[in-house]
Amino acid sequence: MSSEASANHESNGVDFGDEHKLRQLSLELAEDYSKYFAIDTSNEITSFEEAVEEKLTHLEEFCGVIDMIREQNSVCLEQKLPIVYAKCTELEDLFRSIDRLEEMVKIVKATVDAMECEVIKAEELFANNKIKKFLSSFWNNKRRSSDSRKPKYVEPKLFSTKDFFCDEQSAPVKSDDESEKT
């Protein structure tokens, strides 16, 4: 068999009789294959380290922004919140004044409505009296003197602006009933 193996190997053009050559060839082959498997990772490692450093820098910047936000929140809570609260209390006074003004407008409206009713009644009465006078002048002169009495005008109760505009800011608005009693 060894003669057949050596014949087969010799037909390939390689002389395997010499072990030293065989070892030399196997070492060269191993070196060639090792060159294929040798990978230079220094570039990849460098780029990976740079990416990690960049991400760490971004993380530090983000932490800085978060710290600034926390600091501004504390400034807002400690300094700005009392100012906002004071403004809210000022607005409450303004709201009370607006409520008082609305009450005054309601009372003025009620008074104006009452005055309009009185004016309508007076116009009707005056128009009726004028017609009666005109017609009675044709029928009877004596009757005219007895019907010539004038109806009395009774002035309705009016509101007083003193009830609404006084020196005190917190004075309550007086209604019609309260103003009539004073």
Q: Please name which of 125, 123, 107, 127 lies closest in space to residue 175, comparing C-alpha atoms.
A: 107
pLDDT in tens, 49-86: 999 999 999 999 999 999 999 988 888 888 888 898 88
Mean pLDDT along residues 23-38: 87
For residue 33, pLDDT beyond 90: no
Would you call 18 helix, strand, or coil by DSSP? coil
**pLDDT of res. 131:** 66
- Of all residues in the chain, the percent with pLDDT exceeding 70 is 68
Q: How far is CA 106 from CA 14, 18, 37, 58, 151, in A?
A: 123, 126, 97, 64, 31
Spatial neighbors of 158 by CB under 8 A, at least 6 apart, are 111
What pLDDT score does 80 carry? 84
Average pLDDT of the residues of the chain: 76
Judged by phi (left if over 0) then psi (alpha if -120 to 50, else beta), residue 13 lies in left
Is residue 5 over pLDDT 80? no
Q: What is the DSSP letter of 142?
A: H
The pLDDT of 21-34, averaged and rounded, is 89
Of 65 and 12, the structure prediction assigns the larger pLDDT to 65
**Cα 158-159-161 angle, rounded to 5 deg:** 135
pLDDT of residue 29 exceeding 50, the answer is yes
Q: Is the pLDDT of residue 130 over 90?
A: no
- 180 confidence band (pLDDT: 50, 70, 90): very low
How large is the average pLDDT for residues 136-153? 58
pLDDT bracket for residue 181 (50, 70, 90): very low
Of the spans 40-54, 72-86, 128-142, which averages the highest pLDDT? 40-54
